[in-house]
Structure 1
Amino acid sequence: MEASDADSVRARLRAAPTDPRERDALCEAISAELVAAEAEPPFDIASTDLDSDAFFICADRFWRRRFLADPGLETATACGNWILSRVADPWQRDTAEIWAMGFGFLTAADFGRDPLGETAQYLAHSQDQPEAVTEFSRLYQVGRARTAFRFDDVHALLLAGREESDLLRPLEHALLAFAILGSPQWTRAYAQMRAEQAWKRRAGSKAALDLLLNGLGVAHPFIEQGPLLVSWASQAVRELPNSHSCWYWLATGQHMVGHQPEASTSIAKALAHLPATGTRVSHNLLLEQYRTLMLAIRTAPSRSS
């Protein structure tokens, strides 16, 4: 990209409208232009604010387009290298986690039959890549397995070529707990214990919190599943009252324990907080998921609290 074009992109984003829909439309347009020009975003990132930072929003839209067009590990490598070169150090890991999980969600339908073999081959041939880049690519694969509910693949991908002691981030512990919760090969007592450990380690990580609620919601059934999900999701909505996913998991837990009026209120709040801006792909997937739960709640018998 010519220097003048890069300057123009930066100037347009600096002057982005404050109205969320107008700002989002601008970021979508610029991201489409960059993809068409086969140019990566020519600007640096110093936040992970998807609500108001036009630069981060534009970068997010650009990489979404790239992953949807080509969901393979080559795209993950390119994205990982861009994060390393363009995202300020304090936000690199958070950006990697947000994008690995988010783009993994969007591309799970294209997940291969042998993700462990594919990832192992990739890691073996990526020795010249920085560790942060290969770990982003691994985490992206984990995010795809997580979305497809391939619990044993999540477990294997996390630990491929390393020990459990190498898992340091709250998100990694949450992913491991998610895998154990969903797989029937572990006892339910052990799965609950690992989930409770990961919950204590979440250290303010919204991604870890959301994963643990997700893990409880789709876990291989155990007696305390519903009450524990209600307890944790209730805490989550107090911490993050505008989080549509936290309200969704609270509704799921309330539905599990038979508290349908409360669940109906919670799923309504989840739908109210679901942003209408951003990529229509992820919005429509979530909208369908939330509406399905809403219909299940409305047709389910209610038990007294």
Structure 2
Amino acid sequence: MDAGAYAARLDAVVAADSRELDRVCEEVAGALLRDGAEPPFDVGSADFAADPYLICADRYWRLRFLERPTILTAAACAVWLGARVAREARTEVLERWALGYAFITKDSVESAVELARATEEIVSRDAPAGDVAYFATLYHAGKLRSDFHFDELHQFLDSSLLALAAGAHRQSALFTALRSFAAFGSRALTAEYATGLLDRAWRSPERTRHVVDICLNGIQFAVPFDGHGVLLRDRAAEAVRDHPGDHMFRFRLATGLHMTGDHDAALAEVDTALRLLPAVGNRGSHKLLQEQYLTKREVIVEGRLRAALDAEHRARLAEREERHQERWARAEEEARRQKEELERALRESQESARANHVRSVELVALFASVIAFAVGSLQVTLTGDFSLRDRLLLIGAWGLGHVAFALLVIGGTWLITRPRR
């Protein structure tokens, strides 16, 4: 089949429905591959949903990569892309193809020896080596990214001959975003270093949708650090504002909200991502993404339920603690009251004992006086030759003296032992 025949078949389906468009583009791509010919037509747009030439070229190179997933295939694709795709659509097509084909061939990462041989051949070609090396670098880096080989990706982007051959493209926003992805996932690099690369790519005027996606992907799968969830939530929210219809950014935002504990908002975002997903075409791996989103939704629902149970548990603990504090306060008050009563009883007992002691001293003094008076009176009565009148006077004087003595002892005892405040 000649070049005109391929183009004629594609022109015939411009206004057809999407199913027919996919079928014809797939057939033409398969025919090109069987004939050993690359697509013989130019691509003027980056419309992967309606441009039959782009869709057919996309299917063709997809088949080529599935058949031979190597850096040399990526180099051939880069040469065709530079010659056939319009400049205004080239960046979008280049980034989507390099990263997309890397994802579908991620199970075939080439060895260091194969990488060195391919790099040598790419550099020796007549085509612009920097452009070709850049596409090939993105392709190989995309494989490492899809396999989450963070340290290998970091080393490849920083020091491999293929990446160095990309020249000025190493400063591109997408290249920096890939470096940020590698740094976030590596345990040998700090979160501050990764965030610095992220900010460079994020603030670049060349920032594309793919740059944003890789940046968010890197944050999501980063080694946990302080502010991890907040960073993902905030950057994903900005991406959603710029691309409100992008299901992947909605999914990243749902993940960030889930990490920060906002389960209701996370559930709303992942449901929105699921609603937007059917608009994705054949290359979007609809089933795979749907399963991923549904799994995340289950995790969010489970986290939401767990958070509700934790909140209820904390409320019960707080109520129990409050009751415990009340009982403790009542117990302390009761103990204080009992202590005061005990101290009061002790004081009363001490005062009563002291009073009894005083009474005992007074009683002893009184008995001593009575006995002394009786003995003295007996001597006066039984001895001497005093008259009765003199004896009575003497006994009276003696008794008054003992009364005075008893009163003096009793009064002194009371004065010494009387209560004092």
TM-score w.r.t. length of structure 1: 0.89
Corresponding residue for 2:282? Answer: 278
SS in 1 for 2:40: coil
Q: Which protein is richer in helix relative to its size?
A: 2
5 Å-filtered alignment, 1:1-305, equals 2-3=1-2, 6-16=3-13, 17-112=15-110, 114=111, 116-129=112-125, 130=127, 131=129, 132-159=131-158, 160-161=160-161, 162=164, 166=168, 167-201=170-204, 203-274=206-277, 275=279, 277-279=281-283, 282-301=285-304
Name the CA shift for 1:264/1:151 in 2 (closer, same or farther; >3 Å): same
Name the CA shift for 1:91/1:77 in 2 (closer, same or farther; >3 Å): same
**8 Å contact from structure 1 (residues 233, 250) kept in 2:** yes
**8 Å contact from structure 2 (residues 202, 215) kept in 1:** yes
Question: 2:66, 2:297 → 1: CA distance?
Answer: 28
Q: CA deviation at 1:215?
A: 0.6
Corresponding residue for 2:409? Answer: none
User: Larger C-alpha radius of gyration, 1 or 2?
Assistant: 2
Q: CA deviation at 1:276?
A: 5.0
Q: CA deviation at 1:165?
A: 8.6
Deviations 1:45-90 (A, max 9, x none): 1121112212111111111122122212232122122112211233
**8 Å contact from structure 1 (residues 178, 215) kept in 2:** yes
Aligned residue pair count: 298
Paired amino acid for 2:198? A
Q: CA deviation at 1:104?
A: 0.6
Paired amino acid for 2:281? T
Paired amino acid for 2:282? G
Question: 1:223, 1:152 → 2: CA distance?
Answer: 21
RMSD of aligned alpha carbons: 2.3
- Which one is further off, 164-173 or 288-297? 164-173
Structure 2: unaligned runs, 5 residues or longer: 309-421
Question: 1:276, 1:194 → 2: CA distance?
Answer: 30
Question: 1:144, 1:230 → 2: CA distance?
Answer: 26
Name the CA shift for 1:128/1:89 in 2 (closer, same or farther; >3 Å): farther
Question: 2:166, 2:72 → 1: CA distance?
Answer: 27
Q: CA deviation at 1:117?
A: 4.3
Structure 1 segments (4+ residues) deviating >6 Å? none
Name the CA shift for 1:18/1:256 in 2 (closer, same or farther; >3 Å): farther
Q: CA deviation at 1:100?
A: 0.7
Q: What is the percent sequence identity of the aligned residues?
A: 36
Question: 1:219, 1:117 → 2: CA distance?
Answer: 30
- Which one is further off, 22-31 or 47-56? 22-31
Q: CA deviation at 1:111?
A: 1.9
Paired amino acid for 2:93? T
Higher relative contact order (CA 8 A, sep 6+): 1
Deviations 1:105-125 (A, max 9, x none): 11112224x3x4432332123
Deviations 1:169-213 (A, max 9, x none): 110111111111111111222222322222112634111011101
